């Protein structure tokens, strides 16, 4: 087989302090105005948008598409903060391809990885630096930052996985992570019941 | 689809200081006596074996085989040290399945990732903490620790990749990493020419 440019090894340098790597192929930035639908307190959403529309999270990624394979690397950095009483979090997604898993590696910060299936199975995994979670196919996944500093995780997956936001965007996950008496607590998501 | 036990999420906790995670499914331990064939100085190999057969590296891994997928996670911890003038390193391998890539993430230590194809392409990537390398299909890979402390990296791949040691075990990679005047240097591997 004649090797093309994309069939050669490629390296990026991850900065553990900043929680990003370079070079990166793409960056996606999510502010409150991009995420209004995921937080339950719509008044708090409007207020935050008028107060400067703060950054909630960024995704940096690089796809390694070769002649024979399609691995990809992502890093997500979630800022600390809350919308009303609900901690900052990612939109969350299913994979379009139903046979595609993913590995998440928490580098910094603390929070929860929420996962659920279309059949109503739900899991919340408490995350701290060093927690590595295998997300099997068919499980939607969302990360919540409950710490007072950025939460950073590295993801390894395949470009073939794709992203499907609809089932989650509309009504959210089965549980929400909110602050009660200064501590994170998992509560039932009333939009689902 | 009815979920089986293996179709649920699973987490391990990685210890950044020690360079291992738990729980782990398997551990592989490699001492000098397991690796004699990979070092060029056979007298130094015999001497080290008689001096207690030191540990060179360990691999900790967990395979996430589900009904639909087969991702796997590995951590390798290479001790600092040399056999004669040649730095401690992994055996190195090709993947049996020729369409299987891998992602390596250097957590601690410094050294080199050596990669080559059966057609004679060769690359040596200088590694330090935070270097993440995508190893495309068809490239054999070996890691060399040139630092004075353990080198630790995390690997993400598929169980379907398999391991093929033969082409490398016999004659090694195109270059070796040896110490010259107190510094690591890449030199031609005479067994290959």
Measured distance CA(B40)–CA(B43) in Å, rounded: 9
Q: Give the tens place of pLDDT for each residue, B108-122.
A: 999 999 999 999 999
H or E segment to which residue A34 belongs? helix A32-35
DSSP string, A148-192: SS-EEEEEEEEGGG--B-HHHHHH--SEEEEEETTEEEEEE-GGG
Q: How far is A182 from chain B (nearest CA, A)?
A: 26
State mean pLDDT over A151-180.
Answer: 94
pLDDT on residue B170: 79
Mutate which of B134, B138, B140, B141 to disrupt the A interface (most A C-beta within 10 Å)? B134
Residue A166 pLDDT > 90, yes or no? no
Measured distance CA(A162)–CA(A170) in Å, rounded: 19
Q: Give the tens place of pLDDT for each residue, B42-83.
A: 999 999 999 999 999 999 999 999 999 999 999 999 999 999
Q: Do B66 and A136 touch (CB under 8 A)?
A: yes
pLDDT on residue A97: 95
> Which tokens hold the place of A141?
């996944």
> Looking at the partner chain, which of B13, B99, B121 has a beta carbon nearest the beta carbon of A3?
B121
pLDDT on residue A142: 98
Collect all residues of chain B within an 8 Å Cβ-Cβ radius of residue A135: 9
Q: Are B186 and B176 in contact (CB under 8 A)?
A: yes
Mutate which of B15, B25, B101 to disrupt the A interface (most A C-beta within 10 Å)? B101
Q: Give the tens place of pLDDT for each residue, B128-162.
A: 999 999 999 999 999 999 999 999 999 999 999 99
CB atoms within 10 A of CB A51: 9
Measured distance CA(B119)–CA(A149) in Å, rounded: 48
Q: Give the tens place of pLDDT for each residue, A52-68.
A: 999 999 999 999 999 99
Q: Give the tens place of pLDDT for each residue, A72-89.
A: 999 999 999 999 999 999
Q: Do A154 and B105 touch (CB under 8 A)?
A: yes
pLDDT on residue A86: 98
Q: Do A9 and B139 touch (CB under 8 A)?
A: yes
Q: Are B111 and B146 in contact (CB under 8 A)?
A: yes
pLDDT on residue A170: 79
Q: Do A7 and B154 touch (CB under 8 A)?
A: no
Q: Give the tens place of pLDDT for each residue, B8-35.
A: 999 999 999 999 999 999 999 999 999 9
DSSP string, B57-69: EEEEEEEEE-SS-
pLDDT on residue B125: 98
> Looking at the partner chain, which of B13, B129, B136 has a beta carbon nearest the beta carbon of A9?
B136
Residue B193 pLDDT level (bands cut at 50, 70, 90):
confident
DSSP string, A76-105: EEEPS-EETTEE-B---BB-SSTT--EEEE
Residue B166 pLDDT level (bands cut at 50, 70, 90):
confident
Measured distance CA(B135)–CA(A55) in Å, rounded: 34
Q: How far is A43 from chain B (nearest CA, A)?
A: 35
Q: Which residue is listed with tokens 């990749």? A: B161
pLDDT on residue A2: 86
Q: Are B130 and A14 in contact (CB under 8 A)?
A: yes
Mean pLDDT across chain A: 96
pLDDT on residue B99: 95
Burial B10-42 (b: 16+ CB within 10 A, else e): bbbebeeeebbbeeeeeeeebebeebeebbbee
Chain A residue with CA closest to B130: the answer is: A14
Q: Is B103 on the interface with A (CB under 8 A)?
A: yes
Q: Give the tens place of pLDDT for each residue, B79-110.
A: 999 999 999 999 999 999 989 999 999 999 99
Nearest 5°: the CA angle B18, A142, A156 is 50
Contacts of A24 (CB under 8 A, 6+ apart): A12, A60, A61, A62
In DSSP terms, A77 is beta-bridged to: A58, A152
Residue B1 pLDDT > 80, yes or no? no
pLDDT on residue A76: 98
Residue A94 pLDDT > 80, yes or no? yes
Collect all residues of chain B within an 8 Å Cβ-Cβ radius of residue A63: none
Collect all residues of chain A within an 8 Å Cβ-Cβ radius of residue B73: 103, 132, 134
Q: Is A63 on the interface with B (CB under 8 A)?
A: no
Residue B174 pLDDT > 90, yes or no? yes
Residue A193 pLDDT level (bands cut at 50, 70, 90):
confident
CB atoms within 10 A of CB B180: 9
Collect all residues of chain B within an 8 Å Cβ-Cβ radius of residue A137: 7, 66, 68-69
Contacts of B176 (CB under 8 A, 6+ apart): B40, B86, B186, B187, B188, B189
pLDDT on residue B117: 96
Percent of chain A with pLDDT over 90: 93
Measured distance CA(A49)–CA(B60) in Å, rounded: 47
């Amino acid at each position: 087989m004649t090797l093309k440019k994309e069939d050669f090894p490629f390296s990026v340098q991850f900065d553990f302090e900043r929680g990003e790597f370079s070079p990166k192929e793409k960056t996606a930035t999510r502010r409150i105005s991009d995420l209004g639908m995921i937080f339950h307190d719509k008044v708090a959403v409007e207020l935050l948008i008028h107060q400067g529309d703060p950054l909630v999270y960024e995704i940096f990624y690089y796809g390694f598409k070769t002649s024979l394979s399609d691995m990809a690397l992502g890093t997500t950095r979630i800022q600390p903060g809350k919308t009303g009483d609900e901690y900052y979090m990612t939109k969350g997604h299913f994979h379009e391809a139903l046979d595609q898993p993913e590995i998440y590696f928490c580098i910094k910060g603390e929070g929860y990885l929420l996962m659920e299936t279309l059949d109503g199975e739900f899991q919340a995994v408490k995350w701290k630096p060093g927690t590595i979670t295998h997300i099997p196919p068919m499980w939607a996944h969302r990360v919540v930052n409950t710490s007072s500093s950025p939460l950073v995780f590295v993801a390894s997956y395949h470009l073939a996985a794709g992203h499907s936001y609809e089932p989650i965007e509309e009504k959210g996950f089965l549980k929400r992570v909110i602050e009660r008496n200064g501590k994170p607590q998992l509560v039932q998501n009333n939009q689902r019941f």
